Structures are given as C-alpha cells and as structure tokens.
Copies of this chain bind each other. A is one copy, B any other.
Amino acid sequence: MNIDDLPAQSTIKRIAVIGTGTIGASWAAYFLARGFEVRAWDPAPDAESTLRDFIHRAWPTLERLGSVEAGADSNRMRFCKSPGEAVAEADFVQESAPEDLDAKRRLYADIDASLPPSAVLASSTSGLSMSKIQAGFDAASRFVVGHPFNPPHLIPLVEVVGGEKTAPAAVDWTLDFYNAHGKKAIRLNHESPGHLVNRLQAALWREAMDAVLTGLAGVEDVDIAIKYGPGLRFGIMGPFELCHLAGGAPSGTGAGGFSGFIDHFGDGLQSWMDDLREVRLDPDVRSRLKTLVEESVGRRDFKDIAGERDALLMATMIAARTRREEGFER
C-alpha cells in the first residue's frame, strides 16, 4: 500500500467516533468544529445525551480558541446503534474505547467487518500495543495509533505510531490528516511503553515524587517550582529548542547553540542525571504520597483548582495563538 491507495485528504467528510467517554466525546466535538460530519457509537446507557451535552458545553470554548471552521455545525452528528453502523460509511475512524485488549479486539472484529475498503482507523490508546490490537484483522494495515493528549478538543498534540502490520503509508496519511485539521501530530518510529509523551511526563513525575518522598521539598513547593519556573517556557518551546537557546548565540569565539550547551553544561547535566533515583510505587509509598498530596493540594476545593486550570489554560493558549498570528520581530 502507498499513500495514493488511501483517500485523498480533501474527500474526507464523515468521521466515526467509536467510544464517547471523556476522550471520545472531546474528539467528536473537535471533529464537528472542524466541519466534519460525525457518526458516533458508545454502549453506555445515556451515552447519546451525555455526548450531546458535552459538545454543547465545549462549543463556546472551541469558538473562543478559533477552532470552529466556517460552516461547522455542532448538530451534524448521528448517534448509531452499533460500531458497524457508525463506521460503514466513514472516511476515517477515531476509536477511544476503554483500555482493555480483549474488549478492544472484540470491538475491532465488528469494525473490521464493516470498515470501508480504504478508510484509516486511529486508536486513542495510551497504553496498549497496536501490534496486539490489530493482529489478524483484514484491515490491519490501516489501523494506527493516534493518541491525543487530554482533552483532545483543546490540546493540539497527537502521537501517531503504527503496529507491526500497519502500512507506513497509513501512518503518513494519518499525520497529514491531523495536521491538515489543526492538530500538531508527531511521528513515533516504533511502539514504546507510554508512547513518547507519557514517558516524558513519567520522568518528571518520578523526580517530583522523589523530591517529596525524600523530604527535599514540600508538595506545594514542587508545584511552584514548575509552574513559576521552567514550566513557564514548556508551553512555548520544547527541550531541544530551550537547550539550544541556553547555549547562546553562535559567535566567532564559541560554538553556541545546542553544541555550546552540551560543551558548557554537559558535565553538570550528567551529574544531576546520575543523582536521579528510581521510585517504586509499592503500597507504603503510595500511601505516603497520597497523604502528602491530600494534606496540601487536596485541602483546596477540587472545582476551584479545575476552574483555575481551565481558565489559565484558555487565557495562555489564546495569548500564544494571537502572538503567533502577529508574527515575531527579529
């Protein structure tokens, strides 16, 4: 299979959203905002009304973020009675079913029987291997992972990776599709536990947990350390861009840039990396962490913290988008 065997991007009109829990509902809202027709399916009782409520609440946010295309309609959604019905006329499928391999493979058997012959299916799975999900299905070469970061209607990132049976063209096609519709999709070259982003987060979480477990700092102070320190830049620049800038401008007297960074700070960085420790989440450690966090962050009203996160995320994302649209001066 090459990319010409897959649908031309401009012909994609109808997207099946399989599984409409937290992730799937958010995907449905996003696809509707980008002007697609959505066919949804989920086995939960009240799934349709829950989904319609979610889309209704998400729509004003999508409008404020500038994500709603001209002509998009939040009602252009049909809730279907089976996964087969939802995918039968779909040009693309986003599957966000629970993280249970056996249940997922039963679902994929239904999808496999009804999927149109050239449609690509992307799974939102964060923890399962596509090689295991796809094994034995007729359409396996068109099954990829398209793992979003929650909530997908707000956060641009999607990680794209194929399984053993996935055609490389299907991975390319999926990257093109997401990137053509406002997402920031990245290519992973092989399957890996936690894909990429959860590995990066796990590294940070581990050191944060170690700091409070060893008494280096309190829970609130670790939170402050990130959100009033380096975290201020992590939504603006990636790690390699930041290290490149930390190396200084290349000049006649030195390499500068990332090379300068490694030359000047490599030994220090190595010494810090060498001092990082394993964290084992055994029952005692879990209990200590729960107590430490519940006694600090947990004292605040949950809805207050969530409201603060959502309001600040929206304000900073809109500010960054506006600033990018204005362009940057030298």
Contact = CB atoms under 8 A, between A and B. Distances in A.
Contact of A208 (B200, B202, B305): B200
Each complex incorporates copies of this chain amounting to 2
B330 A320 contact: no
A276 B202 contact: yes
Contact of A227 (B225, B227, B234): B234
A324 B206 CA distance: 29
Contact of A258 (B197, B217, B298): B298
Contact of A270 (B249, B276, B281): B281
Contacts of A303: 249, 330
User: What does DSSP make chain A's interface, helix, strand, loop or mixed?
Assistant: helix
A276 B203 contact: yes
Contact of A229 (B157, B218, B249, B271): B157
Those 9 A-B pairs whose CB atoms lie nearest each other, nearest first: A223-B238, A231-B234, A157-B229, A319-B319, A194-B272, A186-B221, A202-B272, A258-B293, A184-B228
27 contacts: A157-B228, A157-B229, A188-B216, A189-B215, A196-B216, A196-B222, A199-B275, A200-B204, A200-B222, A200-B226, A203-B206, A205-B269, A223-B240, A227-B238, A227-B241, A232-B316, A234-B234, A237-B309, A240-B293, A243-B293, A245-B305, A249-B306, A256-B302, A259-B290, A307-B328, A315-B319, A316-B316
